[in-house]
Amino acid sequence: MSLSLEHLVGIEGLSADTLSGILDLAGHFKRVNQRKMKKVPALRGVMVVNFFVENSTRTRLSFETAEKRLSADTLNFSASTSSLKKGETLVDTIKNVQAMSPDIVVIRHWAAGAPQLLTRHIDSAVINAGDGWHEHPTQALLDMLTIREHKGSFEGKKVAIIGDITHSRVARSNIYGLTTMGADVHVAGPPTMLPAALEQFDVTAHARVEPAMEAADVIMMLRIQKERLGAALYPNDREYFRFFGLSRERLRLAKDDCIVMHPGPVNRGVELAPEVADGDSNVILQQVANGVAVRMAVLYLVAGGGAVAP
Ligand code: NCD
């Protein structure tokens, strides 16, 4: 199958074939990453601007690593050192970035829809590295790659997504991707953190975590989005853990070979008991490693590559 991707602003609307194709290509780049010599010339001469208007550690480092492995030229732009702090509008800043003629812009922004807006103002390919509460498509792809590596396929696999669903772009992107691939997605969290419009998604919602975790193949714990919460939506960390956290006892409800995922950064003792965060079921660092391979695949595709990697 030939695969083409102009931009990657979200997982919503991508077909199962496209998602599988991206994951296959990421698998190829993962093998490249396991070689002694990890650098390939695929993006030589391609300029990538990393435009990060919201804090990020993992995602930014992962994109930069992916770009370097592909031999792209990179330029890093972060909000704290830019004129955005001086009152310039997003569109004006973007136009200045555009004047440098990048081929690809990777954007993280606190405003939902910023990557989409960008596609209308610049000629470069745009990759969404997380926009507000909206989507975080490369995170969902790396999560899906991790699930596929452990479970072989998605069809009928029970995936429990637990926590702050409302404010989580990771949850939204995963829900779109996993339901498209035929997984049986269950969500649970405090009622203040479950979106009212959940019926629009093909998921089963629970007020308690136990039925979501029961016989699960995958448990994906979400971070409490403290920076996005205006008023407190839960009483305190201890109580959150008591009702919604993943303890060793709760993990026993799931299948024996259940994997535990978390997009990071983990709030230890809030979402995950420390012994679960460090336990054998967790695949958190594998998720991080897969992030580089997935981002290499996406960069390669939006740069105009085909289905077959170099
Ligand atoms: C996520 C994010 O920023 O959306 N983290 C990440 O990209 N690794 C999840 C989170 O912050 O909770």
Q: What is the CATH number of the domain that holds 160?
A: 3.40.50.1370
Q: What is the DSSP letter of 87?
A: T
Q: What is the DSSP letter of 291?
A: H
Q: What is the DSSP letter of 136?
A: -
Q: Which H or E run contains 104?
A: strand 104-109
The token pair at 194 is 């479950």
Ligand 1 atom at minimum distance from 58 CA:
8
Residues 6+ apart with CB under 8 A from 266: 223, 272, 277, 284
Q: How many residues does the chain have?
A: 310
The predicted pLDDT at position 263 comes to: 95
Q: 28 in a domain, yes or no?
A: yes
Same domain, 34 and 119: yes
Strand partners, 268: 272
Same domain, 177 and 282: yes
Query: 3 in the Ramachandran plot: left (φ > 0), alpha (ψ -120 to 50) or beta?
Result: beta
Same domain, 178 and 259: yes
Kindly state if the Cβ of 169 falls inside 6 Å of ligand 1. yes
Same domain, 64 and 185: no
Q: Mean pLDDT in the chain?
A: 91
* pLDDT tens, position by position, 150-205: 999 999 999 999 999 998 999 999 999 999 999 999 999 998 889 888 888 999 99
Same domain, 175 and 91: no
Q: 11 in a domain, yes or no?
A: no
Q: 5 in a domain, yes or no?
A: no
- ∠ CA 105-283-40, nearest 5°, is 40
- On whether the CB atoms of residues 145 and 27 are closer than 8 A, the answer is yes
Answer whether residue 113 shows pLDDT above 80: yes
Does the annotation mark 136 as catalytic?
Answer: yes
* pLDDT tens, position by position, 48-89: 999 998 888 899 999 999 999 999 999 998 777 666 767 777
**Residue 56 alpha carbon to ligand 1 centre in Å:** 8
Q: How many domains does the chain have?
A: 2
Same domain, 73 and 183: no
Same domain, 111 and 144: no
Kindly state if the Cβ of 264 falls inside 6 Å of ligand 1. yes
Taking residues 292-297, report their average pLDDT: 98
Q: 2 in a domain, yes or no?
A: no
Task: Give 90 or 128, the one with higher predicted confidence.
Answer: 128
* pLDDT tens, position by position, 235-288: 788 889 999 999 999 999 999 999 999 998 898 999 999 999 999 999 999 999
Question: Distance between CA 269 and CA 275 in Å, rounded?
Answer: 9
Answer whether residue 227 shows pLDDT above 80: no
Q: 10 in a domain, yes or no?
A: no
Ligand 1 atom at minimum distance from 169 CA:
4
pTM, entire model: 0.94
The predicted pLDDT at position 307 comes to: 45
Question: Distance between CA 51 and CA 54 in Å, rounded?
Answer: 9
Same domain, 275 and 158: yes
Same domain, 195 and 150: yes
The predicted pLDDT at position 3 comes to: 85
Ranges of H-type helices in the chain: 16-33, 58-69, 90-98, 114-121, 137-151, 169-180, 209-213, 237-244, 248-251, 274-277, 284-302
**Residue 263 alpha carbon to ligand 1 centre in Å:** 6
Selection from 188, 190, 221 nearest residue 204 by Cα: 188
The predicted pLDDT at position 81 comes to: 65
Same domain, 296 and 279: no
- On whether the CB atoms of residues 212 and 244 are closer than 8 A, the answer is no
* Domain assignment of residue 232, given as a range: 137-287
Answer whether residue 90 shows pLDDT above 70: yes
Q: Which of 111-115, 136-140, 221-225, 274-278 has the lowest mean pLDDT?
A: 221-225
The predicted pLDDT at position 230 comes to: 55
Selection from 297, 23, 292 nearest residue 152 by Cα: 23
Residue with tokens 């009928």: 156
C-alpha R_g of the chain: 19
The token pair at 183 is 């997984």
CA distances from 39 to 62, 193, 299 (A): 14, 42, 14
Q: 295 in a domain, yes or no?
A: yes
Same domain, 180 and 118: no
Burial class (CB in 10 A: 0-12, 13-18, 19+), 191: exposed
* pLDDT tens, position by position, 122-146: 899 999 999 999 999 999 999 999 9
Question: Distance between CA 154 and CA 183 in Å, rounded?
Answer: 5
Same domain, 141 and 129: no
Q: 254 in a domain, yes or no?
A: yes
Q: 296 in a domain, yes or no?
A: yes
